Amino acid sequence: MLISCSVRSTHFVRAISYRDYKISILELVWIVFNFCFSFLFLFGFCLEDLTMSKPVLYYDDISPPVRGVLLTVAALGIKDQVELKLVRLFEREHLLEDFVKLNPLHAVPVLKHDDLVLTDSHAIIMYLCDIFGQDGDFSLKDPKQRARVHNRLCFNNAVLFQRESIVMRGLINRSIVTLEDHHLKPVQEAYDCLEVYLTNSKFVACDQLTVADFPIVACMSTVGMVCPLSTSRWPKTAAWFETMKQLPYYQQANQVGVDKLKERLHAVMKK
């Protein structure tokens, strides 16, 4: 009887041990599977990072469109993730054959990212937000708000920058020797439009800072050298401009280039 019980007990212990052993094997297989899957998953991302190069920004910060991009880069905190290549406009490096092949319009900024080449500052700004921004940083995800951002970017591209460019290029190349009212009136009309935008919101597109503010402040700080903002005529715009100047990256990303252009302008006008 004792022998029989002992045998049964031995079989029972062996059965438990065998079941435990089977469970351990399954657990081990599961651990190995998870490890391999995680390794391949992470390795895939690392491999993608290795094969994708940094975006290369061809720039000269005397250019307002360039400074709009530099402000975006600074705001996104991606200075280390974008390679900068200086193209000296006043030394006519934008007319060199290699650069003209890259951008037939021979203008900066240009962004090259692998096989992608973008030659418009507003397209560059939105692209950088799309690949580096988080949760719609500065470009917004809501369709209506994002549409307002696009609208203000188009305003800058088609209205403000074009009018600023006519005046500033004219002064630099001496086709404009003395500024007259007819030179400044189109710029002032653009200021009027911006004042309406800023009457309805704290920033140009909505009540939060967006990428639309960057190219516009770059243009305003440039043409403002010869067409200053009147706080009585454009109080909202003047207040917004002061707010933009308080951004921690404004000085380096924008004002440095403005000062370079101002120095050049003064030198030209003395001749």
Helix (H) or strand (E) segment spanning residue 84 = strand 83-86
Q: Is 182 one of the annotated binding-site residues? A: no
The answer to whether the annotation marks 92 as part of a ligand binding site is no
**98 labelled as ligand-binding?**
yes
The closest alpha carbon to 121, from 204, 255, 212, 224, belongs to: 212
Cα–Cα dist 243/253, whole Å: 15
Is 17 marked within a binding site? no
Residues 10, 26: Cα–Cα separation, whole Å: 25
- DSSP for 21-56 reads HHHHHHHHHHHHHHHHHHHHHHHHHHHHHHHSPPPE
Residue 266 annotated as lining a ligand binding site: no
Beta strand pairing call for 56-59 and 83-86: parallel
Amino acid at position 191, single letter? Y
Nearest to 68 by CA among 210, 219, 244: 219
Q: Is 106 marked as binding a ligand?
A: yes
Q: Is 48 annotated as a binding residue?
A: no
Which residues participate in the annotated binding site?
A: 63, 97-98, 106, 108, 121-122, 169
Which residues participate in the annotated binding site for glutathione?
A: 63, 106, 108, 121-122, 169
Which residues participate in the annotated binding site for Ca(2+)?
A: 97-98
